[in-house]
Amino acid sequence: MIDAIHPSALIDPGARLGAGVRVGAYSVVGPGVTLGDDVELGHHVVLEGQVELASGVRIGHGAVVGGAPQDLKFKGGTRSGVRIGAGTVLREYVTVHRATTPEGWTEIGRECLIMGLAHVAHDCRLGDHVIVINYAGLTGHCHIEDRVTIGGMVGMVPFTRIGTGAYVGGMAKINADIPPYMMVDGQGAAARGGAHPRGAARVRAADDPARLHRRGHAPRHLQGPARVGRRHRGGHVLMAVNGRTRAGVVGTGHMGQYHVLVYAELPDVELVGVADIDPERGQSVAARYETRAFTDHRELIGLIDVASVAVPTEEHFRVTRDLLEAGISVLVEKPMTPTIEEARELLAVSRRTGAVLHVGHVERFNGAVDELKHLVTAPILIESRRLGPFVPRVQKDTVVMDLMIHDIDIVLGLVDSPPVRLAAQGASVHTAVADVATVQIRFASGAIATISASRATEEKIRTLAITQPDAYIVLDYTEQDIHIYKRAAQEYTTNRGSIRYRRASFVEHLKVHRDNPLKLEIQHLIGATRRRRAGESVLAAQPDDLRSLAMALEIERMIRDGVPEVAWREPC
C-alpha cells in the first residue's frame, strides 16, 4: 500500500483531494482533478482534464485517465472529463479518454474492474460492476450496462451497446448491439447457447425487467423481435429493432449539437438528419454523426417522427408550428416562444394534430430535482442561484430567458401555493439587455422565493436552498446531490463572564444516480410520442409551461420598464 503522497508526485494546486488519498511516485495530478476519500494512485499515473474519482477508487501503475480523445472531431481546449464511481479499480496501464463535447463525460460506474492495458475511449458509458479483461478495446460512444463481463482482447465498434448481465468471450469482435444476458463469442460475435444464466443470476432481477435497464430505456428483449437482417448506418453494423423512432434536429448551434449527440447515441432511434440555414455548419455536424444535412426544416417532413428545435428564440414559433402541423412531435428549447399568444397557438396546434409538444425545461429531468420534490413539504424560504461567466453566443435573450426561467419553473413546481407578488431588478453588463437579474416571489402561503441569475460571474454556480420548519435542504444542480441539515439539540450555558450557545445537527447527504438530463428529456418525448400513437393518454405540462413563460416575460418587462414591484396575475 502507498503511504500518503510520494514527494516526487506532481499535484497541481488546483486539484481537490479528499481524506486519506495516496499518490505514488512520479504521478501527475492536473488542476481539474477531484479525488474522493481513500483514492489510491500507483506510480507514474497521469490524471489530466476534468477527472472525478469517487471514494475508494484505485488506479494502477502507469494508467492515464482523462487523456485527449483519439477522435478527429475533438477540438483542443474543450472542457470535458472522466467520472469514475466508488470502489472501481483500474489496473496497470489502463487508458480512459475524456469526452469529445463541451461539458461531456466518459463515465465508469461503481465497483468495476478494468484490467491491465484495457482501453476505454471517449464518451463511453459503463454501468456498475462491469469487468473488462486485459487488452480489451472499447471505442467511442459505447454503452455497457450493469454487471457485464467483457473478455480479453475484445474489440467494439463505436456506438455499440451491451445489455445487462451479458458475457462477451475473449477476442470477440463486437459489431452489433448485444441484448441482456446473452453469451457471445467469435468475430463478428454471435450468440453461443442463448441467454447467459449466470449473468441473470448476478443481477437477481429476472422477474423485474425495469431493474435491468434503469438508465432510461426499455429493455431490448422487450422491444419486439429483432429483424433477421441487419441494417448499416454509416458503415457501422447495428442490430435493427422493430419500431425505431425517426428523429431530426433543427438548428446545429451550441445547444442543437447536444441534441444531435443524444439522438445518435440512443439505440432505438434513427437520426435521419439535421437542418440548419448555415449549410457549412449543417454539413459539418451531419458528417460527424453520419447522417443527412438539410437547409430547410420543412425538408424533414415525412421523414421523421420527432424533432428537437434549437434555433434562435424568434424562430421557435414558425419552425415548431410547421413541424406540429405535419404531425411531428417536438421538443423546443426554452423559452417556448417570445410571446404568450404564440405559445398558446402552438399548444392549440399540438392538441388539434395530436403531435406531442414539450418545452426544454431540462432541469425537470435532473435526478436531484426529482428527489427534491419528495423532500420539500412546507417551504418558508427558497434561495436559488444560477450564476456563470458571459458566453458571447448569447446576445439577444435576457438572462431571465437564458438562465432564470429554469429556476422559475422549478420554484413554481415546488411551492403548493399561488404566487401573489413579484419584485424584480436587473442590469446590463455585457449586452444591451439584462445580464444580471434577481426576483423575489411571494406566495399566498407566506413562502418567499429569491431567484438570482447572472452571466457576469466568473464562477459557475447552480444551487437551490430551501428552508422549512424541520430542515434546511441544499441542492447542487451540477453535482446532482442534496444535503439535508436537521437540528438535533441546542443548549445555552451561562457563567459570570459569558453566555455560550451550542447546537448539534444531523447532516444527511443524498447522492442521486446521475444521468444526462437532456437524454432523459428526449427519451420522455419519444415515449410520449409512442404512447400517443398507440392511442394512450399523455400527461402534458402545458399549464406549467405557460405559467413559467408568463412569469419570465413579466420579470423581463419589470426590469426593462423600471417597475420594482407588481401584483401577480395568473395567465388566462
56 plus 203 within the same structural domain: yes
Q: Average pLDDT in the 335-347 region? A: 94
C-alpha 127/C-alpha 533 separation (Å) is 32
Identify the pLDDT of residue 2: 55
3-state secondary structure 286-341: HHHCCCEEECCHHHHCCCCCEEEECCCHHHHHHHHHHHHHCCCEEEEECCCCCCHH
- Strand spans (E) along 111-243: 113-114, 119-120, 125-126, 131-132, 137-138, 143-144, 149-150, 155-156, 161-162, 167-168, 173-174, 182-185, 190-195, 231-233, 236-238
User: Do residues 153 and 275 both lie within one domain?
Assistant: no
pLDDT number for residue 249: 97
Among this protein's residues, is 122 annotated catalytic?
yes
In this prediction, residue 423 carries a pLDDT of 97
State the average pLDDT for the chain: 86
Residue 235: band (very low, low, confident or very high) from pLDDT cuts 50, 70, 90: very low
Please give the residue range of the domain that contains residue 398. 364-518+547-567
| Residue 126 located in a structural domain | yes
The stretch 354-361 carries a mean pLDDT of 93
Chain centroid, CA 246 distance in Å? 22
Q: Do both 170 and 270 map to the same domain? A: no
Across 89-116, average pLDDT: 95
User: Is residue 561 domain-resident?
Assistant: yes
- Quick one: how far is CA 322 from the chain centroid? 29
Give the contacts of 511 (CB within 8 A, at least 6 positions apart).
Answer: 481
Q: Is residue 535 part of a domain?
A: no
* SS3 of residue 2 by DSSP: coil
Inter-CA distances, 132 with 64, 124, 235, 461, 471, Å: 16, 13, 26, 36, 43
Asked if 345 and 249 sit in the same domain, the reply is yes
- Report, as an integer, the average pLDDT of 360-386: 91
Task: Pull the grid cell for residue 126.
Answer: 459503463
Closest CA to 20 of 58, 46, 47, 52: 58
Same domain, 373 and 406: yes
The answer to whether 566 and 551 have CB atoms below 8 angstroms apart is no
Please tell me which residue, 213 or 201, carries the higher pLDDT value.
Answer: 201
Structural domain includes residue 422: yes
The answer to pTM > 0.75 is: no
- Whether residues 321 and 464 share a domain: the answer is no
Catalytic residue flag (residue 44): no
Average pLDDT over residues 176-203: 64
Residue at which a domain ends, from 211, 232, 264 = 211
Residue 202: what pLDDT? 47
Active site residue 140: yes
pLDDT at 417 over 90: yes
Above 70 in pLDDT, residue 5? Answer: yes
CATH code of residue 457 = 3.30.360.10
Based on the domain organization, do 460 and 555 belong to the same domain? yes
Average pLDDT, integer, range 250-270: 93
pLDDT at 502: 58
**Average pLDDT for residues 25-29, to the nearest whole number?**
96
Number of structural domains in the chain:
3
Count the neighbouring beta carbons within 10 Å of the beta carbon of residue 226: 16
pLDDT in tens, 381-411: 999 999 999 888 777 889 999 999 999 999 9
Residue 218 lies in a domain: no
Residues 297 and 401 in one domain: no
Question: Residue 69 has what pLDDT?
Answer: 95
Per-residue model confidence as pLDDT tens digits over 514-563: 678 999 999 999 999 998 888 888 877 778 899 999 999 999 999 999 99
Query: Do residues 379 and 298 share a domain?
Result: no
Catalytic-role residue among 44, 122, 221, 297: 122
Within-domain flag for 237: no
Residue where a domain stops, chosen among 211, 231, 265: 211
| pLDDT tens sequence across 422-460 | 999 999 999 999 999 999 999 999 999 999 999 999 989
Q: Indicate which residue of 44, 60, 66, 123 is catalytic.
A: 123
Q: Judge whether 539 lies within some domain.
A: no
Same domain, 141 and 35: yes
Do 169 and 280 belong to one domain? no
Crossing angle, helix 542-561 and helix 405-414, to 10 degrees?
130
Q: Is residue 233 part of a domain?
A: no
pLDDT of 181 strictly over 80: yes
CB distance 47 to 16 below 8 Å? no
Task: Based on the fold, state whether residues 331 and 476 are members of the same structural domain.
Answer: no
Average pLDDT over residues 317-330: 95
Mean pLDDT value of segment 217-225: 32
Share of the chain above pLDDT 70, in %: 85
Find the catalytic residue in 42, 104, 140, 165.
140
Write out pLDDT tens, residues 462-505: 999 999 998 999 998 888 789 999 876 556 556 666 666 555 56
Q: Over pLDDT 90: what percentage of the chain? A: 68
